[in-house]
């Protein structure tokens, strides 16, 4: 089925850790194979099984810095001595082919994209409440108390930024949140389901 005109655009999805971004992105991609999830560039070394262009675009620091200097990244940041960013060219190529493109990125990256690609549609994924978000983060059982407290402090800051976004989707019910994302992204009627 043909995509709607609004679906061939760049959509940015952000929200705090534990809100369900990964789960919703996985479901969106299952239901909408034409949805292209951007592949990030990084200066870190590939891990076992990772393939260049599939998991990341692996670059030297010099090449990454050149991409930054020439405006070749929509957004970028440095974490733990490695750089990560969203290459502009593959995103623009997918959009030119009529494919909807999704970026799942952090708040600061979304702010950078707002400046570098202002026509992108930005969605903030929010929890039904802060208490529910805390329960989800704790329920993972993978983080120390110190790490949980850092995630919660960051989440508080991120939640304060909701008004910056074009739309806010509350992930209280997975199916309802998925349907709302599909509506906002113009993906209704393109599902395989």
Q: How confident is the model at residue 190 (pLDDT cuts 50, 70, 90)?
A: low
Domains of the chain with CATH codes: 5-185 (3.40.50.300)
Taking the model in full, what pTM does it have?
Answer: 0.86
> Residue 148 burial by CB count (10 A; 0-12/13-18/19+): exposed, middle or buried?
middle
Give 155-186 pLDDT, tens digit per residue: 999 999 999 999 999 999 999 999 999 999 99
Q: For residues 13 and 114, give the distance between their C-alpha atoms in angstroms, rounded to a whole number.
A: 12
Contacts of 116 (CB under 8 A, 6+ apart): 71, 73, 74, 75, 88
Is residue 14 classed exposed, middle or buried when 0-12, 13-18 and 19+ CB atoms within 10 A define those classes? Answer: buried
- pLDDT tens per residue across span 102-137: 999 999 999 999 999 999 999 999 999 999 999 998
Q: How confident is the model at residue 3 (pLDDT cuts 50, 70, 90)?
A: very low
């Amino acid at each position: 089925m043909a995509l709607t005109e609004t679906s061939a655009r760049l959509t940015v999805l952000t929200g705090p850790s534990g809100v369900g971004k990964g789960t919703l992105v996985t479901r969106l991609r299952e239901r909408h194979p034409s949805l292209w999830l951007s592949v990030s560039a990084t200066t870190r070394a590939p891990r076992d099984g990772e393939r260049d262009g599939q998991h990341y675009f692996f670059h030297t620091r010099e090449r990454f810095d050149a991409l930054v200097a020439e405006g070749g990244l929509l957004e970028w940041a440095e974490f733990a001595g490695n750089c990560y960013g969203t290459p502009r060219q593959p995103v623009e190529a997918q959009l030119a082919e009529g494919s909807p493109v999704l970026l799942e990125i952090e708040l600061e990256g979304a702010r950078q994209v707002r400046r570098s690609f202002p026509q992108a549609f930005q969605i903030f994924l929010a929890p039904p409440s802060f208490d529910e978000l805390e329960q989800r983060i704790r329920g993972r059982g993978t983080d120390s108390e110190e790490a949980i407290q850092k995630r919660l402090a960051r989440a508080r800051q991120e939640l304060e930024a909701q008004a910056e976004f074009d739309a806010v989707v509350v992930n209280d019910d997975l199916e309802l949140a998925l349907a709302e994302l599909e509506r906002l992204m113009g993906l209704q009627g393109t599902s395989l389901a």
